């Protein structure tokens, strides 16, 4: 019997289309190369963000999240997404409504006004979940023919992909996880341990909005810890963490210039960009532009040093 093709409803979220479209480009192109089908979710909205909406109205958070899930239910395919915050919201809304009839009835009373219904027929997955479990680490290794043994990577998980651990698929690995490192290391890159590697990037819970300097101080500490062990790049799997470590790095260099010494210049790379390179894909298919002169356009921290490190292998 032929192997069943993997197919998912593709949820974009807010930050990627608005700030980091090259993340979407890299995921679409890598998944196409792997033979994983993606179905666009027409009319999808903000997830809504777990650290903001859930903080002031759980019913609103549930209804908006359930509306998005209902679109994937119409597609007849589980959701796959690229953002830890979107993952937290849609996963937790999905689980909660499947197991709480009172909340499900409340949500469906509101959704009925726009001709929708939450049915509880699909699952919500992060791209890391799909690559690690559904596609499978061993199978993925067969696609990574180009190796980068000289690349030193600082791994940043981000908070919401791990916690709360009750509903995450990582089989007890939320306290000291290694699955992201395993995915990175199939490219030949070396994951370099550093102090407080599971520390928040500083952006979550609306801290970036409410108190920018406090959020940047978290970022400064993470960057300092990575610089101390000599990483060539920071690897992320969340666009909001990407924003905080990329644009935030520029802001840290200005805000804390009197105490950090040399400005930080650690390239921030999304996982599928590295994976695609290891699969032999063209850097431009992965949104890897080494330099540009466009004001206010990411990447804010140049990735030329990262590209120079791997160019001898591609």
The whole-number pLDDT of residue 1 equals: 44
Number of domains in the chain: 2
Contact 83, 161 (CB under 8 A): no
Q: Cβ distance 38 to 10 under 8 Å? A: yes
Residues 200 and 57 in one domain: no
Does one domain contain both 62 and 102? yes
pLDDT of residue 50: 85
Residue 8: what pLDDT?
98
**Mean predicted confidence (pLDDT) in 140-155:** 98
Range(s) of the domain holding residue 243: 137-313
Q: What whole-number distance in Å separates Cα of residue 55 and Cα of residue 57?
A: 6
Residue 76, domain member (yes or no): yes
Residue 290: pLDDT over 70: no
Q: What is the CATH number of the domain that holds 107?
A: 1.20.1050.140
- How buried is 98 (Cβ within 10 angstroms: 0-12 exposed, 13-18 middle, 19+ buried)? middle
pLDDT band for 206, please (50, 70, 90 cuts). confident
Q: Is residue 248 included in any domain, yes or no?
A: yes
Question: How long, in residues, is the chain?
Answer: 314
Please enumerate in sequence order all residues whose Cβ is within 8 A of that of 221, keeping only pairs 6 or more positions apart, or say none: 196, 199
* Same-domain check for residues 146 and 121: no
Query: pLDDT grade, residue 166 (50/70/90)?
Result: confident
* Whether residue 192 sits in one domain with residue 67: no
pLDDT (tens digit per residue) in 30-58: 999 999 999 999 999 999 988 788 888 99
Mean pLDDT of 272-277: 98
Q: What is the pLDDT of residues 94-123, one digit of tens each?
A: 999 999 999 999 999 999 999 999 999 999
**Does any domain span residue 132?**
no
Residues 6+ apart with CB under 8 A from 98: 104, 120
- Asked whether residue 122 is domain-assigned, the answer is yes
Question: Looking at 87-161, which runs of residues are DSSP E strands?
Answer: 124-126, 152-155
- Could you tell me if 23 and 170 lie in one domain? no
| Phi, psi for 308 (deg, rounded to 5) | -65, -35
- Domain end among 95, 126, 157: 126
CA distance 271 to 39: 21
Task: Decide the pairing of beta strands 268-270 and 233-236.
Answer: parallel
Helix axes 101-111, 84-99, angle to 10 degrees: 110
Query: Does residue 15 carry a pLDDT above 90?
Result: yes
Mean pLDDT of the 188-204 span: 96
Within 10 Å of residue 58's Cβ, how many Cβ atoms? 13
Taking 90 as the threshold, does the pLDDT of residue 2 lie above it?
no
State whether residue 151 is helix, strand or coil: coil
Residue 81 lies in a domain: yes
What are phi and psi for residue 10, nearest 5 degrees? -100, 110
């Amino acid at each position: 019997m032929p192997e069943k093709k993997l197919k998912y409803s593709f949820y974009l979220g807010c930050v990627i289309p608005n700030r980091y479209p090259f993340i979407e480009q890299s995921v679409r192109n890598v998944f196409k190369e792997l033979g994983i089908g993606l179905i666009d979710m027409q009319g999808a909205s903000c997830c809504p963000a777990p650290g903001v909406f859930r903080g002031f109205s759980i019913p609103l958070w549930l209804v908006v999240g359930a509306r998005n899930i209902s679109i994937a239910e119409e597609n007849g395919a589980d959701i796959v997404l690229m953002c830890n915050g979107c993952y937290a919201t849609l996963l937790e809304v999905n689980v909660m409504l499947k197991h709480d009839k009172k909340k499900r009835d409340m949500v469906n009373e509101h959704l009925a006004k726009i001709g929708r219904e939450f049915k509880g027929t699909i699952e919500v997955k992060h791209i890391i979940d799909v690559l690690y479990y559904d596609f499978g680490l061993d199978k993925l290794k067969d696609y990574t023919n180009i190796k980068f043994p000289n690349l030193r990577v600082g791994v940043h998980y981000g908070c919401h992909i791990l916690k709360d651990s009750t509903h995450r698929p990582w089989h007890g690995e939320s306290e000291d996880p290694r699955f992201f490192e395993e995915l990175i290391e199939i490219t030949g890159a070396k994951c370099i341990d550093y102090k407080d590697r599971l520390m928040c990037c500083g952006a979550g819970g609306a801290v970036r909005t409410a108190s920018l300097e406090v959020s940047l101080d978290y970022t400064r500490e993470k960057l300092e810890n990575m610089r101390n062990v000599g990483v060539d790049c920071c690897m992320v799997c969340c666009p909001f963490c990407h924003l905080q470590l990329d644009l935030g790095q520029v802001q840290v260099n200005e805000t804390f210039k009197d105490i950090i010494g040399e400005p930080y210049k650690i390239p921030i790379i999304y996982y599928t960009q590295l994976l695609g390179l290891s699969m032999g894909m063209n850097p431009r298919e992965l949104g890897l532009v080494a330099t540009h002169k466009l004001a206010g356009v990411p990447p804010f921290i140049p990735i030329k040093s990262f590209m120079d490190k791997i160019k001898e292998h591609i």
